A and B are shown apart, each in its own frame.
Chain A
Amino acid sequence: MQNLITGLVMLFLTVGLYIVYLRRDRLKLKKAIEKGSKNFLQNSIRIFAVFIIIGVLQNFLSKESVGNFLLKFSGIKGILTGSITGAIMMGPVATGYPISGYLLENGASISLVSSFLASWVMIGIISISLEIKNLGKRFTLARNLFAFISIIIIALLMEALL
Chain B
Amino acid sequence: MWKRIEQWNREVEAEQLAVLRDPTLVDQVPAGCRRFFARKLAEMSPAEREDLYQFSSSISTSAALLALLKLCVVLTVLGFMVNLAFLPDTPWWQTVVAANAIGAAVAMALAGVWFNYGKIVRAKGKALVTIVGLGLVGGLFGAMTAMFERGHAWSVLLDKLPKIVVTVTLVVTALVAIPVIVVAVLRNRHYQIQAEQLKRDAEQERLARELSETQLRLLRAQIEPHFLFNTLGAVQQLAEQGAPRAAELTSHLIDFLRASMSDMRCEQVALATEFGLVESYLRVMQIRMGERLRYTVDVPEALANTRVPSMLVLTLAENAIKHGIEPSLHGGEITVTARDDGGTIRIAVRDSGVGMSDTPGAGTGLENVRHRLRLAYGEGTCLLLSEAEPGLLAEIAIPCKEQA
Q: Do A and B bind each other?
A: no
B: residues with CB less than 8 A from A are: none
